[in-house]
Structure 1
Amino acid sequence: TQRDKGYLILASEEINSGSDPSELACTASMSIDRDAVEYNMRHKNRGLALIFNHENFDVPTLEPRTGTNVDCENLTQVLKKLDFDVNVFKDCRLNELKQQLVSASQKDHSENDCILVAILSHGEHGYIYAKDVQYKLDAIWSYFTPQKCPSLAGKPKLFFIQACQGDECDPGVTLNRRTETDGDSSMSYKIPLHADFLIAHSTMPGFCSFRCPMQGSWFIHALCTELEMNGKRLDMFTLLTFVCRRVAVDYQSYAPDTPKKHEQKQIPCITSRLMRILRFREKRALQ
């Protein structure tokens, strides 16, 4: 198992959204009633899904991310089944990545339910890598604010980030079920230290993220499994809770020659600012 480990390098350029604090509040068409419990997922189209898949890098200290193409293929297939218009971009340099984000933000999303952006790359806390340099991840969201993309105002904007956020590893804690027989460990299992807390980062800030060269990363594999099984049945918050459980319980690193990396755990970090329930309703049934 390999880690999506990044190295701190000062980029010659970071994504600059061009945001101006003096910008006035904008107005946009209402896509849903003020007090609606669920997002309106009955538009003509589901929406765009942009996948930025980074395998090889110009930065000498960054190793190729073997296994990322498995993640990309799995994610592409499951998002197509959820009726997304999927666009895959391989090994983009920063300027190329910026151009694709600007292009997407300038489209008319009036007939779309939402937008989804997935980034598969190396990273450090607060930074992620394009092919040539690193940039601040926070800048990506700003391309899709109502000022930049009014046709997405009031609609879900989803970001999935598969990348390390640091070098720390999570050794986990073993939970034992109390039984009448002391030492009965048949119902014991190991979970991360940071479990039971509930953005969709593959790991906690400061911690590494694990990836298998053959099966892809733990997080994307679990995410695709849940989207495949429950993507049109469960709401997104519930689904991501199940993703957290899969990553936390079903996976453990195997690196016996490197004790610090051996038998380590991982927990995704999901931060939600959604205001309503999000459910990918069946498109064919609505048309």
Structure 2
Amino acid sequence: MTILVTAASGQLGRLVVDALLDRGVAPADIVATARDTAKLADLAERGVHTARLDYSEPASIAAALDGVDRVLLVSGSEFGERAAQHQNVIDAAKAAGVAKLVYTSAPQAATADFVLAPEHRATEEAIAASGIPAVIARDNWYTENYAADVSRAADTSVIAASVADGKVASATRADLAEGLAVLLTSDDHVGQVLELAGETAWSYDELAAAASEVLGREVRYQQLTTEEHVAALESAGLDAGTAGFVAGIDDGIRRGVLDVPNDALARLIGRPTTSLVDGLRAALAA
């Protein structure tokens, strides 16, 4: 069985390759792909096959998928282009007769009114239409996403956001990568949509408390309105479109898009997911 991981030069993809190796998958049975294979040189030195794969270049996808049984499609990062790029991978996977496709989607992608949801929803629909045996892994927010906020709070003692009382059921990239490795190496969960998250959702007051523990100084959560948030982002140098996009993410959190705690990820990895405090501590140390 040969397993291909897209975007293996990225933070999540790299951790998935590590998790596959930790689970005993032979390096020669893994194909790590990226647009720039030079970024995969260390994996090649460990015996992992590497290949160039660009979501926007169907020929590169078809070549990389030759002889592959299972594929992890890590969602792309080019907003506005992702649905079409993902479609290229889906088409190539179908043509190659891939036996199992795992896709990293977004929380509540099929139903959420969320700035990030439409491209994920379109991809989920495309996978269903393709008929490829698949698992939709809706990854919640990475705990590491908050490392920068906590780092800034070391100087400001404040974490500011426009999420009001919204909650997040975050998980670390390492936990999610381990769960994805389980999905790739097992025959289970085909046809399922899994919300992969932490078992407990936390509020931003709890985020501030966790930051206080990690930093050893008091940190408080400052609630902003959406308008105040956009203004603050623009004053920090973001253009209006980007500022609105970032504030739109907080709007989704305020409305509960990421408040989907469950034990699906914990059951996959066979242990509780990493706590918020421990995840932040590891992220800052890294």
TM-score, reference length from structure 1: 0.39
Higher share in helix: 2
Relative CO higher for 1 or 2, CA cutoff 8 Å, sep ≥ 6?
1
